[in-house]
Amino acid sequence: MSERFEIPLTYNGKEHNFAAELISTGYSYKIMVDVFDTVVSFEPDEERNFRAVTDHENLQRNSLPGKALLEEIANTLISIFKD
């Protein structure tokens, strides 16, 4: 099962809406986010934070978004999915 949504975020003084897709897999889930044409998977870790994961092909085709932006997206996801 998957559900599409957008992640609104202000980063470096600019408004962004990143396309995202929630994908349920068994007892877990991941959120696929299109970050400036690079697909990044945000997966919950043991402490219920999100870690950003991408594959080698994405890194070859596109440059990886900055660490600060990925952290900001992860923090936004935490606030969205907070219990």
For the cut 80, the answer to whether the pLDDT of residue 15 exceeds it is yes
What pLDDT does residue 60 have? 64
pTM of the predicted model as reported, rounded to 2 decimal places: 0.85
What pLDDT does residue 69 have? 93
pLDDT band at 21 (very low <50, low <70, confident <90, very high): very high
pLDDT band at 38 (very low <50, low <70, confident <90, very high): confident
Residue 38 CB contacts under 8 Å (≥ 6 apart), including other chains? 54, 58, 61, 62, 63, 64, 65
What pLDDT does residue 1 have? 55
Residues 26-45 have a mean pLDDT of 90
